[in-house]
């Protein structure tokens, strides 16, 4: 298993079909290549204003029409200070990923604290298992 961190969401321009028609910028192409080369995606994003972050929604918008996220296995979570936080943002993310028929793994917030590493490891293991099952590769880490 290889983990690749994509840190370029902030460099993506606001989604605009006119920009798309003229040719996607390099930042968008880098995002799309990263998605295309991935068997699965993990999104851990905080909730903002009872929804998902605007930069994340924008990034997903750039991949809706081009198809790199279509049917992809995607684990979603949010590190939160208390269990009752983050659920609205995760629901908004789940709904947005529905536009690309993503297979969602997880979807619950993870409380920042002594159990964070264990819960995060369990989510990653579930993501790997789902990606392997989807591709027909035998299970096991």
d(CA 98, CA 126): 19
What three-state secondary structure class fits 43? strand
Q: What is the pLDDT of residues 73-110, one digit of tens each?
A: 999 999 999 988 999 999 999 999 999 999 999 999 99
User: Which H or E element spans position 75?
Assistant: strand 73-77
Domain boundaries, the chain: 9-135
CA 136 to CA 131: how far, in whole Å? 8
For the stretch 6-37, pLDDT in tens is: 999 999 999 999 998 889 999 999 999 999 99
Q: Where does residue 123 rank: exposed (0-12), middle (13-18), buried (19+ CB within 10 A)?
A: buried
pTM of the predicted model as reported, rounded to 2 decimal places: 0.91
Which pLDDT belongs to residue 141? 44
Q: Given CATH 3.40.50.360, say whether it is the number of domain 9-135.
A: yes
Average pLDDT score over residue span 1-7: 89
Of 106, 54, 107, 109, the C-alpha closest to 81 is 109
């Amino acid at each position: 298993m290889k983990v690749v961190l994509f840190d370029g969401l902030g460099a993506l321009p606001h989604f605009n079909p006119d920009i798309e028609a003229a040719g996607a910028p390099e930042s968008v192409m880098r995002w799309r290549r990263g998605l295309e080369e991935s068997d699965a995606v993990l999104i851990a994003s905080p909730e903002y204003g009872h929804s998902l972050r605007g930069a994340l929604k924008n990034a997903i918008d750039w991949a809706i029409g081009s198809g790199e996220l279509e049917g992809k296995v995607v684990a979603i979570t949010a590190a939160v200070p208390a269990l009752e936080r983050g659920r609205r943002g995760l629901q908004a993310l789940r709904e947005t990923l529905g536009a690309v028929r993503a297979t969602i793994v997880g979807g619950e917030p993870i409380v920042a604290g002594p159990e964070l590493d264990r819960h995060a490891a369990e989510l990653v293991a579930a993501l790997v298992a789902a990606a392997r099952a989807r591709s027909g590769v035998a299970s096991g880490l």
